[in-house]
Each structure stands twice: as C-alpha cells, then as structure tokens.
Amino acid sequence: MSSQGRIAAVSGAGGPMGRAVIDRLVAGGIRGVALTDISSHRLDAAQSALPRDLLVSATRADITDQDQARAFADTALAELGQVDLLVNLVGGIRSAQLYTPFLEIDAAQWRSTLDLNLMGTIHLSQAFAPGMIARGWGRIVNVSSIVFGGEAGQADYAAAKAAVASLTRSMAEELAPHVTVNCVAPGLTRTSITANMPADQAQRLTGKAFHPRMAEPEEVADAIAFFLSEEGARTGRAEDALFSRRAYERGMGADERGGQRRYVREDVHPGRGVMVRRIEAAGHSSDLAAQLAEAEKGSFDPAKAPVQIRKTDARSVSKYRAAKAEAADRGVPLEIVADD
C-alpha cells in the first residue's frame, strides 16, 4: 500500500495506535507528518522515534478545543505546506469506570464523551479538508468502535461512536469525489488502559469479535493505512478492524477465495459508480489490508450492478418507483436490501 510522497496529520499520535499508524505510513513512503497529542511526553517520544529524513511538525494540543485544533492545523500547514492524509484517532472513555448505567450518566459525562470522541474529529476535518478539496485529492480516516451499534453500560460512548460513523457517511457525500472519508471500527484493542482491564470486562468485549482476543494496534493500523493509500479509493464506509459477529449476522453472501471464507456485500453509489466491497471475515486475518486489496482486484463491472433500495426507502412509493425506473433504464435487477 503506497502513500508515496504524501503528508499526513495524525491526532493522538503519541498513543499505541498513533505510533502504529505512523509506522505504517512511514513504511508506505510518506514524506512528512504532523503530530498532535494532549501529552507532551508522549508527543516527544513519538517524534524522537521518526526517521531523520522525514518532515515533521509536532504540536501539543487538546483538539476537543476548537481553537487548539485550529492552531495545530495552522502550524502543520505553515511548516509542511499541505496535508493530504488525516487520521482522527483521538477518542476513548474519560470516566473512571468503564461501564456506567444509562440513568447514572450525568450531563458533564455526556459532554465530555462527545467532545473526546466526536468534536475533535469534526474540528480537524473542517480544518484540513478545504486544502484537500483545493488540491483535488485527500484521504480522511475516522475511528469509531465495535460498540457503535449499542452497548449496555456505555450509552454515551456508543452514541458518540455511532455519531462518528454517521458523520463519516455525511462527510463522504459532501467531500466527494476527490476526498475519500472512511471509518474504522475496532474491537477491543491492546493499549496501556485495556492491558489492565479486568478479565470479565475484556471477555465481554472480545466476545463480540469472531476471534475472541484483543486486537493489536498494528492490526488496526493496517486497516487505516489501506484507506489512506492510493489503493484505498473507496469512501463512506465503516469497517470492523477485528470483524464483529454483528456484521456477520446480517446475512451477507459468502465468497470463497484462496481457501478462506469471506462475507462480502457489494454497493454501487448511484451517480458516481463507486464500487465498494465490505468484507466481513469469518475468521481473523492478521493482515486486513491485504484482504481488502485482494478483494479490490476482483472482476466487477459497476454498470451491471443491480439497483439497490433500502427497506425503509422502499416503503416510499416515489422512491420505489424512481429506483424501479432506474433499474429498467439500465437493464439490471432491482434489489431491496436490509437497512444497516
């Protein structure tokens, strides 16, 4: 996966995930990177680990604050000239307890969780996207979570991560065709916080993945690096980094390739002909990026793809008639698909 000559910006750069993403991008050939982290110590450590020939801009900032986020972006653009790739990694749970019953979450915790997981992503995306649009090329990757479909005891966190996934789709629509926006939704990932998590809590969360263990930061970084690469020309999707049972249970069709069973759904964006394959693997692969890249090589003609309409939209007579007419005009089937 190549990001040759590109310049990246990474929030949360000093954490395990940030370090892993930067390593992948350096291996892919980036020529510069802008780093930010709320911790000066972590930021300095991340910067000192970078190759000496790499262009670097490092700014300590709390990106949940719009002014600090803008200051980071302004400094990065002034020192590096441009940013082509944006990775919005900042997120997490600030509460002292991992699980808080819904009725006990106060207004301050709601605001704090939404700021940490959603607002920082918004602030940096609004700061860097205009330059990408002006140059006609850009990649943005947001980070959600496997719990974005809902999780008892984490209503605030699940709601914030669901908002990130929804935001991703909206951004993808508005920033197309030159800027792609995608979202990676990892399962429980090994960090300094989760490494000390009580066993029963870890088991509860890893049980949502096909492979019942924590993900390593490098595995999630593989997925992120793919969406940032030249090969990652899909947009508007939320992908599990350790694949969730929830996705499998939606009943996707099976595709046998190379002896490994994968679950694939193909979507074509009407009007732009963008083909997307979402792979939900029935087993864990240590190299998600390789899986995605391989799937992209499959033969697929967007012009022959069926017209799809969601169940919810099919209840609207006007929307159903429009979809049926489009299918007839193109000479392809009309498919009613389940809502995500």
Active site residues: 157
In whole angstroms, give the CA distance from residue 74 to residue 92: 25
Q: What is the DSSP letter of 189?
A: B
Assess contact for 276 and 239: CB atoms under 8 A: no
Is the omega angle on the peptide bond into residue 101 within 30 degrees of 0, that is, cis? Answer: no
User: Within a 10 A sphere around the Cβ of 263, how many other Cβ atoms?
Assistant: 18
Question: 3-class SS at 24?
Answer: helix
Q: What is the DSSP letter of 244?
A: B
**Which residue matches tokens 């909206």?**
170
In terms of DSSP bridges, do strands 253-257 and 260-269 run parallel, antiparallel, or are they unpaired?
antiparallel
Q: What is the DSSP letter of 251?
A: T
